[in-house]
Amino acid sequence: MSFVSSWSARNLVHQRDSLRRSFCSTRVWRKDGAEPQSQNALQVEIEGPDPKPNVLPPLNRPLGVRERPTTIVKTRTQRMKELMDSDVRTAQRRHLIKEAGKGYFHDMNMTRKHGGKTWIAPKVLIREDKALYLPNISGKNLQDNKTKNTTTMCYGRVTVLAMLGTKISEVHAQGFIDPTHARFSSNPHYQYIQINLQENLLKSFLVNLFANSLRGTVPPELHANYLVSSQNMEYVREPLGMTNSKVGYVYLIDENLKIRWGGCADAALEETQALESCTGVLLKRLEKKPKDHGTPEPTVADTVSPTPLKTG
């Protein structure tokens, strides 16, 4: 009987000590008015705050070059004069330094982030006074293997132009263009141009070697406006926003060879609708223009006609 009583007494003392420690701990937590931290707060303190979501920025500048495109080939004297220009050499040096810092798999690695998409297409047209020009791009078409260029093809018409280089880029272009092409393909002022750009000599040779199989995959009605090009675009990729060679790029060109809209990589629904809407706007404006008051066709005097980029 005494053993049970002594055990009960020790148990009561143990419980009292436990309550006292708990009470003291609570007083320490609530010292200076601080509340005890919850489990979620402790977890945030250990792991740190959630990183900010990486949101794609909208297109914040006009795409293109300031010089009006021309089909006239520059003479050796003109090329030497450009090489002696200090501003041109400085720009080329900056470009080479930037490219030297990129690895061989840079473009492939960038596709892991938003699928290679670097900006969101605008919902409206780029203003005509701020828009820049599409540089002249030449290539051989699939219809008769003759050389064509975008300057003569795009002048006087509203053009949706797709820059392709890989199979995935073709899927990207279709995501943008299909609704627009289905709606306006019967309009005489509208055209759809595809440029298969292969700057690598070996890839360009293989594409030309298998041109017959390429003709089988492209609809016959698009052969005349499908160009296979090996033109060096190194110094105009950045102005055109073509920073990743693995994804597709789509541009809306007005009748004066200016880029009025652009999209890249996977097309969002809003971007597809924006291209369709903007194409319709340009076509309506072109149809209302008097035929005898249009912009004169590019000539030798138009080889250099800079368009100042207004701000604000």
Calculate mean pLDDT across residues 107-114. Answer: 67
Of 11-20, 68-77, 131-140, 167-176, the one with minimum mean pLDDT is 11-20
Looking at the structure, give the CATH architecture of the domain made up of residues 76-296: 3-Layer(aba) Sandwich (3.40)
Using 50, 70 and 90 to split pLDDT, how confident is the model at 290?
confident
Tokens of 107: 């473009």
Q: Report the candidate in 62, 69, 59, 57 with the shortest Cα–Cα distance to residue 127.
A: 62
Where in the chain are the domains? 76-296
pLDDT value of position 31: 44
Q: Which residue has the higher pLDDT, 45 or 189?
A: 189
Helix H or strand E encompassing 186:
none
252-276 residues labelled b (16+ CB within 10 A) or e (exposed): bbbbbbbbbbbbbbbbbeebbebbb
Tokens 């200016």 appear where? Answer: 258
- DSSP class of residue 187 equals -
Q: Where are the beta strands (DSSP E) in the chain?
A: 138-141, 147-149, 158-164, 190-197, 226-229, 249-253, 259-264
- 203-219 pLDDT, tens digit each: 666 766 667 778 888 89
Calculate mean pLDDT across residues 140-152. Answer: 91
- 199-257 pLDDT, tens digit each: 666 666 676 666 777 888 889 999 999 999 888 888 888 899 988 888 999 999 999 99
Contact 66, 307 (CB under 8 A): yes
How far is 226 from 65, CA to CA, in rounded Å? 23
Stated pTM of the model: 0.71
> Which residues contact residue 267 at a Cβ distance below 8 angstroms, ignoring those fewer than 6 apart?
121, 172, 175, 176, 250
How far is 251 from 271, CA to CA, in rounded Å? 12
